[in-house]
């Protein structure tokens, strides 16, 4: 019994150490990259459904389209300032493709973030009302993604 108890305590201590290492004090630049890339993946996941419907690759479904558009609008409305931690550009944090130019153009980045939110809100109004309305809102929304990417996402 005593032996088993020791084993359990050791296992718990290992778990706690792992948890503390993973969650306790992450490198803030790495944490910012992870968070913003996760945010972008959620954009992609939701936009992908709307884009698939717009192109006819996925059958139009008003409820699913409404949900994806609402997710995009909610995501776009999140406060994102901390994502752009100084020192977290491509070349500074492994795996980042954020252009170093971004940090000299923070006002522009915020303008583009706001434009994305406006386009997502328009999509949220349109997506559930029919495929033509969804298609009509797609240009501005997709355009808001690619405009920012053209300026600040490095292709490699």
Q: Are 145 and 43 in contact (CB under 8 A)?
A: yes
Min dist. Cβ of residue 31 to ligand HEC (A): 12
Cβ-based nearer residue to ligand HEC, 13 or 38: 38
Cβ-based nearer residue to ligand HEC, 112 or 134: 112
Q: Are 154 and 119 in contact (CB under 8 A)?
A: no
Q: Left, alpha or beta for 81 (phi > 0: left; psi -120 to 50: alpha)?
A: alpha
Cβ-based nearer residue to ligand HEC, 11 or 106: 106
Min dist. Cβ of residue 100 to ligand HEC (A): 11
Min dist. Cβ of residue 26 to ligand HEC (A): 15
Cβ-based nearer residue to ligand HEC, 7 or 28: 28
Distance CA 132, CA 139 (A): 12
Min dist. Cβ of residue 149 to ligand HEC (A): 6
Cβ-based nearer residue to ligand HEC, 97 or 135: 97
Distance CA 55, CA 60 (A): 10
Kindly give, in sequence order, each residue whose CB lies less than 8 Å from that of residue 137, ignoring residues fewer than 6 positions away: 119, 122, 123, 125, 126, 127
Q: What are the Cα distances from residue 153, in Å, to 13, 95, 131, 146?
A: 41, 12, 30, 9
- Give me the residues that bind ligand HEC (CB under 6 A), please: 33, 36-37, 40-41, 43-44, 47, 96-98, 109, 112-113, 116, 144-145, 148-149, 152-153
Min dist. Cβ of residue 35 to ligand HEC (A): 10
């Amino acid at each position: 019994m005593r032996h088993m108890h020791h084993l359990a305590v050791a296992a718990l201590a290992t778990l706690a150490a792992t948890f503390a290492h993973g969650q306790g004090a992450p490198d803030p630049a790495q944490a910012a990259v992870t968070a913003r890339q996760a945010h972008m993946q959620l954009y992609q996941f939701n936009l992908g459904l709307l884009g698939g419907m717009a192109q006819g690759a996925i059958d139009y479904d008003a409820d699913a389209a409404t949900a994806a558009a609402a997710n995009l609008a909610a995501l776009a409305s999140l406060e994102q300032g901390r994502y752009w931690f100084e020192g977290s550009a491509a070349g500074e944090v492994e795996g980042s493709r954020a252009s170093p130019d971004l940090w000299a153009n923070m006002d522009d980045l915020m303008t583009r973030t706001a434009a994305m939110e406006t386009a997502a809100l328009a999509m949220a109004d349109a997506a559930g009302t029919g495929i033509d309305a969804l298609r009509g809102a797609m240009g501005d929304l997709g355009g808001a993604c690619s405009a920012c990417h053209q300026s600040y996402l490095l292709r490699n």
